[in-house]
């Protein structure tokens, strides 16, 4: 019976089984090296009597189902949780898994509600996204998430979570500065797309936009990674400091948008890009209707506008506690 429980977990998770064993071993708040995971679990089963070992294997199998939903959200039946798991996966927030295994169990056992679970996931996303844009070191997150559940006030779990994370979370001014200056596109297309899609979705379209058909577009062109290859029109528009503007702002939020016309836009002049973007149904692109030039000042101005929207997507944890 016990062996069959272990086989079930293996069949369920496949290549992710080792990762699950490690994160399962971390969920109670003690750090375990990756290479020690199997040995630790094996020793636990050996020191227990047969009944306790059987119970542990059943628990292992149960948590493997939670883990499967975290890594493959389509297995989660609730659409609100599924949507949030997908967002976390796109942002690659894997250090949170030991913590979320515990939260998932609380949800299944009705110790927290669906709304609380969703709020916890939103808090974690805000926490990680804000830290990312502000270049906070990521090496602290692993230790933080391992001990996080143990330190929560289980009677007031959401507020307790916010209070614990607050001291390590950038405030609004820091976040705005990061949104303006951090070259998010260098972090990969998936993260960049998620940020832009989230900003677009915040406009609450009556008819949802199909995001899967869109690509990230640079307004000031990439020009193969060489500012010298910019057209003369672009150099003139960017001004005498075009090389500095290119180097500093090319991959930042203010210079990025979403479009289904990526190949058509390419190296075109700003006027040509503006004309093509005017046919877009995206709110992100309506911004350009009244913009007549594109340079450092305009990139910063757009980034500041997007940052104001971002503050309501990835909320300040302090506001969430006290307001």
Distance CA 112, CA 116 (A): 6
Distance CA 135, CA 178 (A): 8
pLDDT interval class at 6 (50, 70, 90): very low
pLDDT interval class at 60 (50, 70, 90): confident
pLDDT interval class at 36 (50, 70, 90): low
96 exposure class (CB count in 10 Å sphere: 0-12, 13-18, 19+): buried
Share the mean pLDDT of the chain.
Answer: 88
Question: What pLDDT score was predicted for residue 11?
Answer: 61
**Which range has the worst mean pLDDT, 28-42, 123-137, 160-174?**
28-42
For residue 258, the cross-strand partners are 216
Buried b (16+ CB within 10 A) or exposed e, 200-222: beeeeeeeebeeeebebbbbbbb
Q: Tokens standing for 318?
A: 């302090």
Tens digits of residue pLDDT in 144-171: 999 999 999 999 999 999 999 999 999 9
Percent of the chain with pLDDT over 90: 67
Q: What is the DSSP letter of 15?
A: G
The whole-model pTM stands at 0.89
Distance CA 203, CA 282 (A): 9
Question: What pLDDT score was predicted for residue 46?
Answer: 60
CB contact at 8 A, 130 and 175? yes
CB contact at 8 A, 9 and 20? yes
Q: Which are the contacts of 106, defined by CB distance < 8 A and separation ≥ 6?
A: 112, 157
**Which range has the worst mean pLDDT, 30-39, 95-104, 208-217, 248-257?**
30-39
Tens digits of residue pLDDT in 97-124: 999 999 999 999 999 999 999 999 999 9
Question: What pLDDT score was predicted for residue 127?
Answer: 97
Distance CA 154, CA 23 (A): 21
Distance CA 20, CA 239 (A): 53
Mean pLDDT of 129-140: 94
| Closest to 314 measured CA to CA, from 136, 233, 212, 194 | 194
């Amino acid at each position: 019976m016990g062996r069959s429980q272990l086989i079930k977990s293996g069949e369920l998770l496949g290549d992710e089984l080792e990762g699950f064993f490690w994160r399962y071993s971390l969920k109670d708040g003690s750090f375990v090296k990756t290479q020690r995971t199997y040995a630790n679990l094996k020793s636990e089963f050996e020191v227990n009597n047969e009944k306790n070992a059987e119970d542990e294997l059943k628990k292992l199998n149960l948590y493997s189902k939670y883990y499967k939903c975290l890594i493959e959200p389509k297995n989660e039946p609730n659409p609100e949780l599924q949507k949030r798991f997908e967002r976390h996966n796109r942002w690659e927030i894997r250090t949170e898994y030991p913590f979320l295994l515990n939260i998932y169990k609380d949800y299944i056992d009705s110790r927290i509600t669906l709304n609380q679970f969703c709020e916890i996931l939103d808090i974690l996303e805000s926490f990680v996204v804000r830290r990312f844009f502000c270049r906070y070191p990521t090496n602290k997150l692993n230790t933080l998430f391992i001990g996080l559940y143990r330190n929560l006030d289980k009677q007031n779990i959401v507020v307790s979570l916010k209070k614990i994370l607050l001291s390590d979370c950038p405030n609004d001014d820091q976040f705005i500065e990061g949104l303006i200056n951090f070259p998010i596109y260098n972090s990969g297309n998936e993260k960049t797309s998620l940020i832009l899609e989230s900003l677009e979705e915040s406009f609450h379209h009556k008819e949802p936009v199909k995001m899967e058909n869109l690509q990230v577009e640079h307004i000031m062109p990439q020009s193969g990674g060489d500012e010298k290859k910019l057209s003369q029109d672009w150099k003139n528009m960017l001004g005498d400091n075009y090389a500095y503007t290119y180097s500093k702002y090319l991959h930042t939020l203010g210079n990025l948008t979403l479009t289904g016309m990526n190949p058509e836009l390419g190296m075109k002049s700003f006027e040509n890009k503006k004309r093509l973007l005017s046919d877009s149904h995206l709110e992100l692109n309506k911004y350009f209707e009244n913009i007549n030039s594109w340079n450092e000042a305009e990139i910063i101005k757009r980034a500041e506008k997007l940052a104001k929207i971002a503050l309501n997507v990835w909320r300040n944890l302090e506001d969430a506690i006290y307001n």
